[in-house]
Structure 1
Amino acid sequence: MSGTSEKVYVEILKKIKTIIEEDNLQAGDKLPSERELTDRLHVGRSSVREALRSLELLGLIETRRGEGTFIKPATGHRLVEVLASFILHDKKAKQNLLETKSIILRDCIELAVKRIKDKDVEFLNVLLQQMHEEDDSGQLQKLSYQFKDAVIRLCDNHLLYRLWIELSGYGSSLHGKTFIPDPGDCSQIMEHLKNGDSMKVIQLMSREL
């Protein structure tokens, strides 16, 4: 593969990753079709097919005949569930988990307060508006989770974000539940983010722990 071809190939992979994030696609969700990806990425269909093939070889997606291409669950989450089953009765390990989550949450929020941009505020405000207008409890819970996830993402540090996701999955396996902020919580978090008050955001988000 030539240098130019390699650069285009890497760019396509990055753009597919961006589409997954923008569409808020999760494990088990269907990816846009090759035709739609070609249109959205403004590249040749053969290039999209090659990028998808590489993602499938890496075990990140799977193609089901007649159905389409789907995002595969991260192997890390399976490992998390196995580890959790061994640690259920270990109080020290549980405490270590909570302490580590607390440290990562604090770091994520402190970075988020420093790095939040106008476009981030607009996106969170749109989510808030949707939450206040939503009557369906299931959809409201989905929006609330999306809001919480968006706040953590504001840290703009992929490694910290992935650590948080893995530890949150670990915690859910241990406790069987996770904190979903209600519209009131989200409104307060929004105000404290805009005011640069990381401590108050941390205090509200720490209900996760």
Structure 2
Amino acid sequence: MYINFKRLIDIILSLLGLIVLSPVYLLLIIAIKLDSKGPVLFKQKRVGLKKSHFNILKFRTMRIDTPKDTPTHLLENPEQYITKMGKFLRKTSLDELPQILNIFLGQMSIIGPRPALWNQYDLIAERDKYRANDVPPGLTGWAQINGRDELPIEIKAQLDGEYVQNISLWMDTKCFFGTIISVVKSDGVVEGGTGKTQKDEGTMS
């Protein structure tokens, strides 16, 4: 029952967001174009509901010569690819704003597991254990307010599973306001330090 209500909330809030934030979109578009060459929007194939694929939208934060389909944490010295404007967008999470359109189109939800890259097979497999691939991915979620980029893949998938087991209006409300607090504090943002398995971390340490 709540799932249908959740979709209605997504439609209403995403439509309002697109309208109210239009001046912010315009300012960011101008700033991105002035800062570096390339398109304003960045599209990337991600894993959606039931492991279907869709193109996630973000404001571009990296140079156009950045290797494609490679998570930031797997790039050697990722800082060299991030633009000046991109650093600001990532720190404030404003690069995620175009995903409001993904939400309006039904490809994402406001709250849910963050969509994995199509080739992040380890994360996708871990989420299968907790049925976390069986719900729409979100702009933010339970894992994002409990560690964000700092979390090993196993822990991130486990938290995504906790969200699926406890999905409700109260859970979504906690994630929503928890995200606002995390963004303001810039908690858990680690360039080049996310998405490793605990086994990988043990090998690298």
**TM above 0.5:** no
**More strand per residue:** 2
TM-score normalised according to structure 1 size: 0.24
Query: Which one has a larger percent helix, Structure 1 or Structure 2?
Result: 1
Which structure has the larger Rg?
Answer: 1
TM-score by length of 2: 0.24
